[in-house]
């Protein structure tokens, strides 16, 4: 068993964690701070123990929210954050910076905002192509040796980068988008993780709300919502993707669960070393997602879902070309529709 899974087990944490990003970042207007704090507090109250944030989210506001929400509960939670990509006020945009001195400074700042002296897991949010991965990971390894972080993680990297990085220091976890709708880790990353007992933390396990069945018209999203710039959510592509969802929704009804619960149960069916971290702004959705813990899918049901929304059926790339340029992941050559590249 990996060290991450052992620590989660000691906390009696559910297999489903909470991605905290969406209360402060990317999906339309951020929640007012007091409301955001309450959302994270409620997640703890209903049973979540794995909380994921980042320096980037909300221009550091998300870390402050999580720190306030979990104050006094530090030893009861598994706390993860990320460095190496942050909002730079000088350029008015995010900047990827994997230099060792930057990562150390951001770690110290994250610890302060999160009101703690250590993080259980600290990810390099993006690989900086201008800095050798060994230098970035080496500095994170030193932070681990100093007790400031419990494990080194990587985010949105390829199998090749993971193998290169772990020559410098063990990698406890890799975070990547993974869902029924987005299976890129199955190209090579999942196998590479399993070579070295590295857990895969699956962000956007509900397909950025697509798999919940509640998002019918992306045109109604706020202008600031990042999905507006994603090819799969375009006016041409989204209706074709919705048509693929119908069979999945029917299976959820048959299983007497919600589509979101079915999507999370499918991910849990990929192995105990795959940890989904759905985000939610509402108490009802937090409870709905966590209830997927009780849903176990047999081999026949998993096979049925495997045949749905396959990469050759899904229309559009998961990121725009500009977004894709920032990451280092394998992509399916069979992506269809707008954004093919």
Distance CA 266, CA 283 (A): 22
105's enclosing H/E stretch is helix 100-113
Could you give the 3-state DSSP secondary structure of residue 259?
A: helix
* DSSP string covering 46-89: HT--EEE--STGGGGHHHHHHHHHTTT-GGGSEEEEEESEEEET
Characterize the bridge pairing of strands 78-83 and 50-52. Answer: parallel
Q: Which residues pair with 336 in a beta bridge?
A: 315
Question: What gap in Å lies between CA 270 and CA 205, rounded to an integer?
Answer: 12
Q: Which of 48, 57, 122, 178 is catalytic?
A: 57
Contact between 64 and 113 (Cβ < 8 Å): yes
Task: Specify whether 319 is catalytic.
Answer: no
Residue pair 181/309 in contact by the 8 Å Cβ criterion? yes
Catalytically active residues, by annotation: 57
């Amino acid at each position: 068993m990996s060290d991450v899974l052992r620590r989660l087990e000691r906390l009696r944490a559910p297999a489903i964690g909470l991605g905290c990003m969406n209360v402060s970042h990317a999906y339309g207007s951020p929640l007012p701070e007091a409301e955001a704090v309450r959302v994270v507090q409620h997640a703890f109250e209903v049973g979540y123990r794995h909380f994921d944030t980042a320096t980037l989210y909300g221009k550091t506001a998300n870390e402050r929210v999580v720190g306030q929400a979990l104050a006094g509960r530090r030893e009861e939670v598994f706390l993860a954050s990320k460095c190496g990509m942050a909002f730079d006020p000088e350029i008015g945009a995010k900047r990827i910076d994997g230099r060792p001195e930057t990562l150390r400074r951001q770690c110290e700042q994250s610890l302060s905002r999160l009101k703690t002296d250590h993080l259980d897991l600290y990810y390099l949010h993006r690989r900086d192509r201008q800095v050798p991965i060994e230098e970035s990971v080496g500095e994170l390894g030193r932070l681990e040796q100093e007790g400031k972080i419990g494990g080194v993680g990587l985010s949105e990297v390829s199998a090749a980068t993971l193998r290169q990085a772990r020559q410098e220091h063990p990698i406890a976890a890799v975070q990547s988008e993974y869902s029924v709708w987005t299976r890129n880790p199955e190209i090579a990353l999942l196998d590479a993780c399993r070579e070295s007992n590295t857990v895969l933390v699956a962000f956007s396990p509900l397909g950025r709300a697509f798999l919940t069945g509640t998002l019918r018209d992306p045109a109604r999203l706020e202008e600031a919502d990042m999905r507006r710039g994603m090819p799969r959510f375009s006016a041409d592509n989204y209706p074709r993707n919705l048509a693929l969802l119908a069979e999945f929704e029917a299976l959820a009804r048959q299983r007497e669960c919600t589509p979101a619960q079915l999507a999370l149960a499918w991910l849990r069916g990929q192995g105990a070393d795959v940890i989904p971290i759905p985000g939610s702004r509402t108490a009802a959705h937090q409870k709905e997602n966590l209830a997927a813990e009780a849903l176990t899918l047999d081999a026949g049901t998993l096979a049925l879902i495997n045949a749905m929304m396959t990469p050759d059926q899904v229309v559009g790339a998961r990121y725009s070309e500009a977004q894709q340029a920032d990451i280092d992941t394998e992509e399916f050559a069979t992506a269809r529709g707008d954004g093919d590249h």
